[in-house]
Amino acid sequence: MKKIVIMGCSRTGGRLASLLDAEGYKVTILDTDAYSFRRLSPDYKGKALVGNGIDQESLKKAGIEEAEVFIAVTQGDNRNIMAAQMAKHIFNVPRVICRIYDPLRQEIYQTLGLETISPTTIFADMLKKQVDG
Amino acid sequence: MYIIIVGGGRVGFYLAKGLLEENHEVLIIEQNPAIRESINDELGSICTRGDGCEVATLVEAGTGRADMFVAVTGEDPHNLVACQLAKTKFKVPHTIARIKNPKNEGLFKKLGIDVTICSTNVILEHITEEVPTHPITRLMQIRDRDLEVVEVRVTAGSASIGKTLKDLSLPAGSMLSVIIRKGQKPIVPVPSTVLNEGDQVIAVTPSETEESLRSALRGQ
């Protein structure tokens, strides 16, 4: 099964890790604060490591060199951008996905070749549709 | 030149001060209102409010016409993103980033940042140069040619003492420019020059042969 490294055990990160783990992926989640791992589901069987995703050593410990997917979902856009580019350009991870709240930054990094998602844009669109009925 | 500085901390402040004295047009982008106020009090209204990683702020700052863009916040990710935006979105010809973690140097270079300054490395280098037995000091880097001007000290016990330069296997491409010897005028070296203990040899060398130049001059 595919190896996936997730950076940031936010609500999104924790939930995503639990979902992927339940489907049988080999998941490792990284966060600088061990307290954030409370967000993982009680059935989570993957790894949870305390470490900084913008530090190459921490990424290596998380198994970035064998990972097929890297996902950056910390609260900081710039941290996500830096870690994602590290995964892509230093560790050659085949698939790298990066959350960027700021829609403008998201667009720019998308054109620079990163796979980016802006929750801001997506959620605003959803709300608008809801209002439109 | 129009130079934009992101981050008004100590580095940003003194950099701006120096550049203003050289008559450059300088703008500092800083988020913290208290820092902004103290900069504007001391240097005149050169500090604007905003996040140097936000496109709107950079548009307002006139980044499109900047000749140089320098990011010196204390956070590596901020400095990286600010410089990348300046480079790719605003086509600033010269971007410089401060780096805290020496391991990030390669990444920044790979991502197109023109110059990186790692404060940790700079401090370490200066301190180790003060150690008397330190064999080599980088005096200057000529970046675009990948050359360095270095000083090699012939310390006590070096096997090269008493030997002529032609007997040493100096790496190709390295050039000895001058030898500084206690109590004498500087000597322009020739193949028959004999090395003495305590000699300071100033040389121009390609970065990759720096190490072999050092061992040749110390006779190792």
ipTM value for the complex: 0.90
How does pLDDT run across A12-49, given as a tens digit for each residue? 999 999 999 999 999 999 999 999 999 999 999 999 99
Contact assessment for residue B48 and residue B27, using Cβ atoms and an 8 Å cutoff: yes
Contact assessment for residue B75 and residue B69, using Cβ atoms and an 8 Å cutoff: no
More confident residue, B24 or B214: B24
**SS3 of A4, please?**
strand
CB-CB under 8 Å, A86 with B107: yes
Min Cα separation B55/chain A (Å): 7
**Using beta carbons and an 8 Å cutoff, which residues of A are at the interface with B?**
54-57, 76-79, 81-82, 85-86, 89-90, 102, 104-105, 108, 112
Contact assessment for residue B26 and residue B16, using Cβ atoms and an 8 Å cutoff: yes
**pLDDT of res. A43:** 95
Element (H or E) spanning B21, and its range? helix B10-21
**pLDDT of res. B140:** 82
Q: Which pLDDT band, with edges at 50, 70 and 90, does B207 fall under? A: confident
Min Cα separation A98/chain B (Å): 14
Q: Give chain A positions within 8 Å (CB) of B102.
A: none
CB-CB under 8 Å, A81 with B81: yes
Q: Find tokens 């829609």 and name the residue.
A: A103
**pLDDT of res. B134:** 73
Sign of CA dihedral A29, A34, A36, A39: positive
Between β-strands B136-142 and B94-99, what pairing exists: parallel, antiparallel or unpaired?
unpaired
Q: Which pLDDT band, with edges at 50, 70 and 90, does B210 fall under? A: confident
CB-CB under 8 Å, B103 with A90: no
Sign of CA dihedral B185, B189, B193, B196: positive
Contact assessment for residue A125 and residue A131, using Cβ atoms and an 8 Å cutoff: no
| Mean of pLDDT values over B35-55 | 94
- CB-side neighbour CA atoms (13 Å) of B18: 7
How does pLDDT run across A74-132, given as a tens digit for each residue? 999 999 999 999 999 999 999 999 999 999 999 999 999 999 999 999 999 999 999 99
User: What does the mean pLDDT of chain B come to?
Assistant: 91
